Amino acid sequence: MRLRYPAAAFLLAGSLAASGTAARAQMGGGPPAVGVVKAELKPIYQSSQYVGRIQAINRVTLQARVIGFLEQRNFKEGSDVKKDQVLFVIEQPPYKAAVLQAQGAVAQAQAQLRNATISLGRSRTLLNTPAGQQSTVDTDVATAGSNQGQLMTAQAQLLQAEINLGYTTIAAPVDGRIGLSTDPGNVVSPTSGSLATIVSQDPEYVLFPVSELALNQLQDEYSGKGGLQALTVKLQLPDGKMYDKTAKIDFSGISVSSSTDTVTLRAVVANPNRGAPDGTEGNRTLVDGGFVTVYLQSASPEQQITVPRSAILADQQGDYVFVVGADSKAQRRNVTLADSANVLAVVTSGLKPGETVVADGVQRVKPGASVKPVPYTPPNYDASAGTSGTAN
């Protein structure tokens, strides 16, 4: 959605400015003193604002594959774990015994197959003598084949026993942070539910819905500029601070939501370990499931006419400013606005670069009346949190 600033915000800004530059310059009678500034061209990044949610790239639910007592938990809940790190150990003796039993069955089947093979060789040798019989050979062939099948069955049972023994050790399949878990001593099984959940932390996904209309406009605008991947994605944290890493769009939804008429876009952003004061446990800024404000920013800035936001007024006719001419008289000038930064309003029509605009004391200005222009002193705002900004 493209941002527009409500009339109340501009009127409030103008009212608060009364105690600023113009108010300090107002001395006695005569025309009211107003703070003025030149409309100027600045490189502005166009941007749009959306509500996004952080999502882990990998989310793994750990679950027991065999039945047994949970004997070991080799991690601290809420800590970072590494891929292949052993997390849980289920009681192993019953499964080790099953492996030994299966190994014995394999050895027995191998011995029986060897004996059958020897018997088959002997009967085939005797077949060329008066003592040999074809029926004996056929019986020995069948016996050898049966013993071969029994060996394969025993080997399969050994393999299954070894797999089950391996399931008694549960390791982390991915790097990430692990949550609350089942306590050791409990009997666990494939039907007992989750043991714990691991979520990856770096990088993270950012998912945000964009209206179908806005998405079509973006695709048209950037069709020859690298597509949606050319947009820079900036994030504003819940505390109002801008996140210091930028994201890139890597996925666009394949369908439009029937309830919201939006398409989900997804971006990837780094989420490095910031470390901790005690050096024992790291921390990361972005958390799976958290909300952020997403700003889609153009890849390169465009030269736009800008004025302080406090200069913008609005009524039923639309947005307007007061322009001061060479005769020190203020005249109303209707303007059209585009996206704006925290401090600056971007004017797409109605003003020319270099024109003098009232930015402070606008509540004392009447169309066609004389004013006393004085230099405007802007307030000390942090412009970095705006949706559009000047180029560095």
List alpha helices for the chain, DSSP H: 7-16, 21-25, 93-126, 134-167, 212-221
Task: Answer yes or no: is pLDDT of 140 > 50.
Answer: yes
pLDDT given for residue 384 in this prediction: 39
Alpha-carbon gap, residue 86 to 66, rounded angstroms: 16
Task: Answer yes or no: is pLDDT of 1 > 60.
Answer: no
What is the percentage of the chain residues whose pLDDT exceeds 70?
85
- 3-state secondary structure labels for all residues of 304-330: EEEEEHHHCEEECCEEEEEEECCCCEE
Task: Map tokens 């890493």 to a residue.
Answer: 245
Q: What is the mean pLDDT of residues 302-318?
A: 87
Q: What is the mean pLDDT of residues 23-40?
A: 74
Which tokens sit at 375? Answer: 């230099």
Alpha-carbon gap, residue 207 to 261, rounded angstroms: 16
For residue range 176-212, what is the model confidence (pLDDT) as tens digits? 999 999 999 999 999 999 999 999 998 999 999 999 8
pLDDT given for residue 99 in this prediction: 95
Report in angstroms the alpha-carbon separations of 340 from 4, 46, 105, 213, 346: 8, 8, 78, 21, 5
For residue range 204-251, what is the model confidence (pLDDT) as tens digits? 999 999 998 888 888 887 777 777 887 889 999 999 899 999 999 989
Task: Answer yes or no: is pLDDT of 71 > 80.
Answer: yes
Phi, psi (deg, nearest 5) at residue 38: -85, 135
Q: What is the mean pLDDT of residues 113-140?
A: 80
For residue range 150-186, what is the model confidence (pLDDT) as tens digits? 999 999 999 999 999 999 999 999 999 999 999 999 9
pLDDT given for residue 19 in this prediction: 44
pLDDT given for residue 282 in this prediction: 59
Q: What is the mean pLDDT of residues 289-305?
A: 85
Strand order in the sheet with 187-188: 169-171, 86-90, 68-73, 187-188
Strands 313-315 and 318-324: antiparallel
Say which residue, 333 or 29, is predicted with more confidence.
333
Domains and CATH numbers, the chain: 7-45+301-385 (2.40.420.20), 50-57+203-297 (2.40.30.170), 62-89+169-199 (2.40.50.100), 92-167 (1.10.287)
pLDDT given for residue 46 in this prediction: 74
pLDDT given for residue 51 in this prediction: 93
* Average confidence score pLDDT of the chain: 83
Phi, psi (deg, nearest 5) at residue 83: -60, 140
Task: Answer yes or no: is pLDDT of 372 > 50.
Answer: yes
